[in-house]
Chains A and B, each alone.
Chain A
């Protein structure tokens, strides 16, 4: 079976959407909404806000898709819209946020990082998972929007530096420096948790 290039598949769906076929855009939503959800949710820490923002992001993308010329991939383009809209939303919302500890997926129990982390002989092993996540979310929310964005994209979503720099429109060096600074901040925030 021939391998389908995801880029060309996206281009075909975009062309069909531009030609007035809304079902093609539905396929793009199905393909990208889980990843975009992760990005937005880890920046807002609130499911309702994330849901509203996702609707707005895809609505804006649908309205603007006639102007999409393929200079970047759809993935980069939709994530740029998502990041910009989420940062604007966060600036308006202020520092109000809600914890996400109730929404931890049960799959986490099978993740090798989780097993390794909880098996090591350090205070984390004895910590309750919910408490761990709560602390982490608190620490994340103490970061600035820009630092939280790069941490979400790199550490949570696993995007490469080059992709992050394209989406945010900044240099790779800036991405790396923001990451370094953000990690240092998170380390200091979580230090107290490790001591306990």
Chain B
């Protein structure tokens, strides 16, 4: 029966069961490759988190200062150009649709004739009540009616089919 020293000597031989140095060089390369592969395989949220952390780890005050200054300059330039274009009276050139956002529909559709320098329109929305429910039976009657709802013409549908 081998004594304990024999056993220990035999076991000591096992320490020589080592691969060559090339193995350990390759092992390190494999480890580095695997590390990079693991980084690529990270979920999207983790990559986004890392990028966010990297962004806020840098000095961002100057970036925000640039953005704020640019926005302020654009705002001032915008206000100044509107005033210059309006010549001090912005209301005069505002389109009717913008100027009368809160006004009744009848007024917005029919602007004041004098302010627009136009002749009085023949049709007003307020005059819809005067429109007869049936078409005029004769041209003379329609001509005497003021204002007209059909301008100088009769509806085609009322002309007799044999008129041509």
Name A residues whose Cβ lies closer than 8 Å to a Cβ of B.
Answer: 22, 26, 29-30, 33-34, 37-38, 41-42, 47, 51, 54-55, 58-59, 62, 100, 103-105, 107-108, 111, 113-114, 116-117, 124, 132-133, 136, 151, 155-158, 183, 186-188, 190-191, 194
Alpha-carbon distance A132/B17, docked complex (angstroms): 13
How far is the CB of B19 from the nearest CB of chain A, in Å? 7
The answer to whether B8 touches A155 (Cβ under 8 A) is yes
The answer to whether A194 touches B2 (Cβ under 8 A) is yes
Known: A113-B12, A194-B2. A187 touches B7 (CB 8 A): yes
Interface of A is mostly: helix
Is B16 an interface position by the 8 A CB rule?
yes
The answer to whether A111 touches B13 (Cβ under 8 A) is yes
The answer to whether B17 touches A59 (Cβ under 8 A) is no
Closest 9 CB pairs of A and B: A155-B11, A105-B16, A108-B16, A113-B9, A156-B14, A191-B1, A186-B7, A113-B12, A183-B4
The answer to whether B27 touches A54 (Cβ under 8 A) is yes
Alpha-carbon distance A190/B9, docked complex (angstroms): 13
How far is the CB of A111 from the nearest CB of chain B, in Å? 7
The answer to whether A42 touches B31 (Cβ under 8 A) is no
The answer to whether A55 touches B31 (Cβ under 8 A) is yes
Is B30 an interface position by the 8 A CB rule?
yes
The answer to whether A41 touches B35 (Cβ under 8 A) is no
Is B107 an interface position by the 8 A CB rule?
no
Contacting residues, chain A, for B15 (C-beta < 8 A): 38, 156-158
Is B34 an interface position by the 8 A CB rule?
yes
How far is the CB of B9 from the nearest CB of chain A, in Å? 5
**Which residue of A is nearest B15, CB measured?**
A156
Is B106 an interface position by the 8 A CB rule?
no
Q: Which of B7, B10, B14, B31 contacts A59 (CB 8 A)?
A: B31
What per-residue 1/0 map shows which CB atoms of B29-46 lie under 8 Å from chain A? 011101100100000000
